[in-house]
Amino acid sequence: MGVPRVWEKMMEKIKEGIAQCGYVRKKLASWAMSVSLEANQNWAIKNEEKPFLFLLADGLVLQKLRAELGFSRCLKFFSGAAPIGSETVEFFLGLNILLYEAYGMSESTGPHFIVVPGCNFKLADIDAEGIGEVCLWGRNIFMGFLNMEDKTREALDEEGWLRSGDLGKVDEDGFLYITGRIKELIITAGGENVPPVPIEDAVKKELPIISNAMLIGDKRKFLSMLLTLKCACNTETMEPTDDLSVEAVEYCQQLGSQATKVTDIIGGKDKEVYQSIQEGIDNVNSRATSNAQRIQKWTVLGKDFSISGGELGPTMKLRRPVVLEMYRKEIESFYTE
């Protein structure tokens, strides 16, 4: 069980390890992972039996990889506390590791969103896009906070519906999609509601060199973004260093850049990398549902976010108010230039 950021960091380290292997081992790992991904997707979507080629790839390569990760005896793998990106899920499917995404909260206990009689949910205050607050009801919902009537009234309405604080939408097949948190919702100066997480995830998926992305724009005329680069960590202190990760260095080399450190890039020093980032932002903007959801300005920070730095919480969640305060100068420069 781990939060998405733990799985993402694990994915980065595995990619680094594979990149440092010889040609034959690298090709073998790539082949085995592609076979596993296809077999697992066909099994999940079409209920097809996994072919002999998958059994061969798993036996020759993937079992050894899982053993090196300490997963040889693990039967189930879970991600929780925040949304996990499809790229991460697909990567681990390539290792024959099926990540189950757990959604819930202490106030609702386990049975919700499993087919159990009496566990109901609804969306409240639904907007034009069909997005509303996820509310839960049932015998499994808590009765309130002990000796905290004000907090209890905030959490439960008069009919006993628990307000989760999550925004979500339901598709035609009844699947619930969590789109963000109400308290994280950005409301621009023009009154547009913008959930930041989908845009941030899209940027990170588009640009493999990016470690963290934070969208800015609450009560602002347009959206901007703070970016950090993937870098190596000090193994003793877990502090991010100035050295780019192996994946980031490879990304730079593909662009024709010789950068190996964060300081080689920031401040516009590396034109190739900055141009690539802008192209990635443009690609994300091209899929925006409105002009108000386009990223107009961005900057690359000199250091990655970390728990010790204060930008991330104990579960690796982004502490947005802290980041807003720490990088106030950089943020204000977006809107004063």
Q: What is the DSSP string of 9-56?
A: HHHHHHHHHHHTS-HHHHHHHHHHHHHHHHHHHHHHHH-PPPPHHHHH
pLDDT band at residue 172, thresholds of 50, 70 and 90?
Answer: confident
Contact 111, 142 (CB under 8 A): no
Q: Which pLDDT value is given to residue 126?
A: 92
Find the range with the poorest average confidence among 55-64, 232-241, 283-292, 295-304.
232-241
CATH of domain 120-179: 2.30.38.10
Task: Pick the most confident of 44-48, 124-128, 322-326.
Answer: 322-326
Task: Say if 120-179 and 186-336 have the same CATH topology.
Answer: no
Q: Which pLDDT value is given to residue 48?
A: 81
Closest by Cα among 99, 96, 97, 76 to 86: 99
Closest by Cα among 180, 108, 158 to 121: 108
Q: Which pLDDT value is given to residue 188?
A: 92
Q: How far is residue 27's CA from residue 41's CA, in Å, rounded to a whole number? A: 21
pLDDT band at residue 237, thresholds of 50, 70 and 90?
Answer: confident
For the chain, percent of residues with pLDDT exceeding 70: 98
Q: How far is residue 190's CA from residue 45's CA, in Å, rounded to a whole number? A: 41
Q: How far is residue 9's CA from residue 74's CA, in Å, rounded to a whole number? A: 19
pTM: 0.77
Domain residues of the chain, as ranges? 4-101, 120-179, 186-336
Q: Which pLDDT value is given to residue 86?
A: 84
Closest by Cα among 266, 124, 288 to 202: 288
Mean pLDDT of the chain: 91
Find the range with the poorest average confidence among 113-117, 154-158, 275-279, 312-316.
113-117
Find the range with the poorest average confidence among 10-14, 52-56, 63-67, 173-177.
173-177
For the chain, percent of residues with pLDDT exceeding 90: 67
pLDDT digits (tens, 9 = 90+) for 108-122: 886 666 667 788 889
pLDDT digits (tens, 9 = 90+) for 46-96: 778 888 999 999 999 999 999 999 999 999 999 987 778 888 999 999 999
What φ, ψ does residue 122 adopt, rounded to 5°? -150, 165
DSSP letters, 177-227, are EEEEEGGG-EE-TT--EE-HHHHHHHHHHH-TTEEEEEEE-TTSSSEEEEE
Architecture of domain 186-336: 2-Layer Sandwich (3.30)
List beta partners, residue 147: none
Looking at residue 48, its amino acid is: E
List beta partners, residue 293: none
Q: Which two tokens stand for residue 281?
A: 């932002």
According to DSSP H, which parts of 71-169 are helical?
Answer: 86-93, 149-155
Whether pLDDT at 4 is above 90 = no
